[in-house]
Amino acid sequence: MKGKNEQRAGLLYGVGAYGMWGLVPLFWPLLRPSGAIEILAHRMVWSLGVVAVALLVVRRWAWIAELVRDPRKLGLIAVAAATITVNWGLYIWAVNNGQVVEASLGYFINPLVTIAMGVLLLGERLRPVQWVAVATGLAAVLVLAIGYGRPPWISLTLAFSFATYGLVKKKVNMGGLESLAAETAVLFVPALGFLLWLTATGESTFTYGGAGHGFLLAATGIVTAVPLICFGAAAIRVPLSTLGLLQYLAPVFQFGLGVLYFHESMPPERWAGFALVWLALSLLTWDALRTARRNRALAAELLATAAAAPASATPTAAAPTAATPAAPLPDPAQQKIT
């Protein structure tokens, strides 16, 4: 019963995390007339404050000394901070400039870009269905480029920056809360310096519209940290395959907001491009679920074989000698899963 309750709680946390990420386009327009860079700087500064409070609550500080003693990991954190800065800044700009649909496309194609980077940078091998999905994604980008009269640069930049961020985070191998704290610590000084410069030149909008606007800018820290905390709670309670399916909630919500709430145009070529992307993602999801099911079946078969092996031995069977060693059971790690 406890396991089921934990999974149910994890599912709720996951829906909450991706739901908040999907609905965040409703928040950024509230910060006008602040520009995207000023909003981004506030997000960096206030996020560190929120994360620091969270770390105080959970009492996680030992990782700081370990990180400071590891120059390689510090360098990776700096790269992660740079890539997420590009991602955050462009996304805020896109939402506040009527490009919510194109921004959502970036997160739809992000899994395809991640797979492509795995092949090109890590030498990973793809299954046939994955190749078809990547090729379909490339066709979608071409269709959209022809329809727009230009490449969908917002979508591509968001997808590649977030895929790069994910790749670096995988190498850093830190918890979500800790890594966000480290990244925002790297960004804190330049972000605070920029905000102070805006204040000195009279360009700051922090006090525009009174305390309400300042509170909304400060709330960017909460908007950043709370979904991540929910995501971390979900990640330890539900299977990775479930999280993989939940991740599509965010761009679905963003796309729906772009079309139904912000009333962005959807000409036929844009529908065609999105349809190809959704087809590619459907293929990826089907292949991932099929592979996970096959792996579970193989693991169960190996366990059954291991359990039956002692019972199948008879008293008259010849004992293995040094000249005729007993054949070992197959190692699941060495099984080629196709």
Task: Give percent of the chain with pLDDT exceeding 90.
Answer: 36
- The residue type found at 100 is V
Highest mean pLDDT (candidates 59-68, 196-205, 207-216, 235-244): 196-205
Q: What is the pLDDT of residue 330?
A: 35
Compute the distance between CA of residue 99 and CA of residue 93 in angstroms, rounded to an integer: 8
Q: What is the pLDDT of residue 332?
A: 34
Q: What is the pLDDT of residue 67?
A: 86
Residue 244 burial (CB count, 10 A): 15
What tens digit of pLDDT does each residue of 124-160 get? 788 888 888 888 888 988 888 888 788 889 999 999 9
Closest CA to 327 of 308, 309, 302: 309
At 190, the pLDDT band (50, 70, 90 cuts) reads very high
Q: What is the pLDDT of residue 335?
A: 36
Q: Cβ neighbours of residue 126 under 8 Å, at least 6 residues apart?
A: 115, 119, 134
Tokens of 19: 């739901």
What tens digit of pLDDT does each residue of 198-212 get? 999 989 998 877 788
What tens digit of pLDDT does each residue of 242-290 get? 777 788 899 999 999 999 999 998 999 889 999 999 998 888 888 877 8
Q: What is the pLDDT of residue 21?
A: 92
Mean pLDDT value across the chain: 83
- Given a cut of 60, is residue 329 above it in pLDDT? no
CB 23 within 8 A of CB 170: no
